[in-house]
Structure 1
Amino acid sequence: MKGLKVPKKMANDIIKMLADGSVLNRDYRIGRDHEYVYIPLREEAVVPEIEGAELVDHEFEESRRSPANFTEILKSKIPEDALASIRRSFDIIGDTVILEIPLELHDYRFIIGEAALEFTGRKAVYMKRSGVKGVTRTRELELIAGSPVSETIHREYGSRIKVDVKDVYFSPRLANERERVASQVKDGEVVLDMFAGAGPFAIAVARHGRASRIYAVDINPSAVSYIEENARLNHAEDVIVAVEGDVREFLRDRECFADHIIMNLPGSACEFLDDAIRAVRDGGVIHYYEFARDFRTPANRLKEAAKPFTVEILDKRRVKSRSPGVWHIGIDARIRKGDPLNQEKKVKLFRAAAKLDSPV
């Protein structure tokens, strides 16, 4: 094929000059021998005269360019209209990939899975068969490529998080959020994660090394097993306390003990606000999450639930998109309960109000 033969000492300058136009054929690799460099050219390219350079016919090797995304691999394998419907984003959790494939493309799921396997180099690709559901917060997954590996170790900011993606919910997309919350914990503070999963928030807090105690609670027995294992993996077993069961039961006899309370259960965390407000210390911070269209709804809900205490909104943010127009919203709120005597009166009022509001 068409190429340009140039002395080695001139090669870099000539390549830079030709790269500005549509002359180089980037589908092929530049060749070399002891004296010359061979630059692949497009057949239609018009090359200016360059002293010391010579147009030649040369056999070039094809360039092995990595695809920009896994849909490039699918271009010749599924119809073009189907290709346009494929979601290019996916979750990588350790050695596993989790895809969301539209129902109309399920017939192509194994082809799509093989493309994702090739693109990511992971061991297993799963397709979501359901959303996160039930009190244990799990989802149905179907293996569509690779080996049936569901237990894996995910690495995040230097931490190792072991999880079985079939048995415990975990989102790698919250890595920055976990780091942001963990960085707020000060020396000697107590942290409560009310819906801990495999313990990624707890591990992030422990890695910062400032918390004196981290209570990681989950109702899913599999999740609690992974909290314990992840505490050992990350040398945090002395600070992380894994608790299995309903967080309401855990908090029944505990009041005003936590400096930070993490409520990352955006679909139903609002149902546990009374418990969290009772458990937080005066001046403590609740990290509250909710699916909402705007900040106003979750912020007002939090303020209403905290009455008669004072709520100071420290931060509000869109953590990630949930669906068109709906966001995973995060609110950091400081709860002021006042001086000890006044605080005791307010707690009694709060308890009385909670009893009146609770169903018989």
Structure 2
Amino acid sequence: MRLPCVRVSAKDVEEVLEFLKSRDAYVRNCKVKKLSDGSVAIPVKEDLDMSLIKELPAALVSESCYEDFVCGTLGLSFKDLLTGLIPEGVLRRIPSSYDVIGDIAVINIPEDLLEYGKLIGEAISRVSRNVRAVYAGGYVSGEYRVRELKHVFGDPVSKTVHKEYGLRISVDVLRTYYNPSLAEEHRRIAELANDGELIADLFCGVGPFSLHIASLRNATSYAVDFNPDAIKCLIESI
């Protein structure tokens, strides 16, 4: 992860680290980095007032810098990783949760925060290691009921396969709507169906209800949706 840093001599690392920790300026989940010239780079928070460094004896710090650091994520949320990298007021407006659909993450953030999308996406991908693409955006809209999303990090792919109760559901996050938090509801409704029943699954989307019913019952379900991309995904899931 690329972060601002201060460059110090190896013999001064401990003293400078203690000072930075006491001022809550050190990025604690990242390791210091030994540089090719023998000096050491210590990661500091993005919003750090560099005038703070002037409190240290001039001989201890050679210069400020930017370097790539190895950072751990154990026990940290993606918002923990963003602390110090973006303004506190912005961080408070970012939701603490996001959807993971297959290997794609989707987070709802206001449009005016999209400039921080890359940082948010990178933090999410470091916490959810199976995520290879992150999209950010707002609410469901339009006749096809899809989210208005912008790709902010990772591979530029929108198609994925999400696993739900052993079912493999094809989803295109840009062209179809799917809510992974409704998995239990999909299963609960499917369990209410009986063998031999004829079921109309209106506004089916990518078809999670019909797919669950088909996996549990010997019944006929007519899945109907106005969105051709949703029906295409449903057919791929059968």
**Does TM, scored on the shorter chain, surpass 0.5?**
yes
Q: CA RMSD in A?
A: 2.0
Percent identical: 41
Structure 2 letter corresponding to 1:229: E
- Paired with 1:106 and 1:223, the residues of 2 have a C-alpha distance of 27
Aligned equivalent of 2:132, options 119, 123, 130: 123
How far off is 1:76 after superposition? 2.4
Q: In structure 2, what residue type is equivalent to 1:203? A: L
Partner of 1:187: 195
CA contact (8 A) 1:110 1:145 kept: yes
- Secondary structure at the counterpart of residue 141 of structure 2: coil
Deviations 1:129-176 (A, max 9, x none): x42222221222111000111100000011000111111111111101
Native 8 Å contact 1:167 1:222 kept in 2:
yes
With the length of structure 2 as denominator, give the TM-score of the two structures.
0.66
Asked whether 1:212 is paired with 2:219, we answer yes
How many residues align structurally?
Answer: 169
CA apart distance, 1:212: 2.1
CA distance in 1, matches of 2:120, 2:195: 48
1:110 aligns with 2:118: yes
User: What amino acid is aligned across from residue 184 of structure 1 in structure 2?
Assistant: L
Match of 2:231 among 224, 228, 236: 224
**8 Å contact kept, 2:200–2:223:** yes
Q: Could you list the per-position Cα deviations for residues 61-95 of structure 1 after superposition, in whole angstroms to 9, with x for gaps in the alignment?
A: xx956143110111121122222221011111001
Query: Residue 57 of structure 2 corresponds to which residue in structure 1?
Result: none
The residue that corresponds to 2:109 in the other structure is: 101
* TM-score normalised by the chain length of structure 1: 0.45
Structure 2 counterpart of 1:297: none
Residue 74 (1) aligns with residue 121 (2): no
Partners of 1:99 and 1:123 lie apart in 2 by 14
**Compared CA separation, residues 134 and 94, structure 1 to 2 (3 A):** same
Query: Quick one: which of 145, 149, 161 aligns to 1:153?
Result: 161
Structure 1's 67 and 85: CA in aligned 2 closer, same or farther, altered over 3 A?
farther
Mapped to 1, the partners of 2:81 and 2:152 lie a distance apart of 16
Q: Report 1:301-320 matches (<5 A).
A: none
Please tell me whether residue 88 in structure 1 is matched to residue 84 in structure 2: no
Contact 1:67 1:119 in 2 (8 A): no
Greater C-alpha radius of gyration? 1
Higher relative contact order (CA closer than 8 Å, sequence separation 6+): 2
**1:14-29 equivalent positions in 2, closer than 5 A:** none
Q: Which amino acid aligns with 1:107?
A: E
**1:176 and 2:201 matched:** no
> Per-residue displacement from partner, 1:248-271 (whole Å, max 9, x unpaired)?
xxxxxxxxxxxxxxxxxxxxxxxx
> Which sections of structure 2, spanning at least 5 residues, go unmatched?
1-28, 30-70
One-letter code of the match for 1:126? Y
Deviation of the 1:109 alpha carbon: 1.8
Q: d(CA) in 1 for partners of 2:234 and 2:154? A: 27
Report matched runs for 1:1-360 at 5 Å. Answer: 66-121=74-129, 122-128=131-137, 130-208=138-216, 210-231=217-238
Task: Check whether the contact 1:190–1:213 (CA below 8 A) recurs between aligned residues.
Answer: yes
Structure 1 stretches (4+) deviating beyond 6 angstroms?
Answer: none
Counterparts of 1:65 and 1:95, CA distance in 2: 19
Structure 1 residues 113 and 154: CA distance shift in structure 2, 3 A: same
Partner amino acid, structure 2, of 1:86: I
Maintained 8 Å contact 1:185/1:211: no
Gapped regions of structure 1 (runs ≥ 5)? 1-26, 28-62, 232-360
Distance 1:136 1:69 in 2: 33
CA drift at 1:111: 1.0
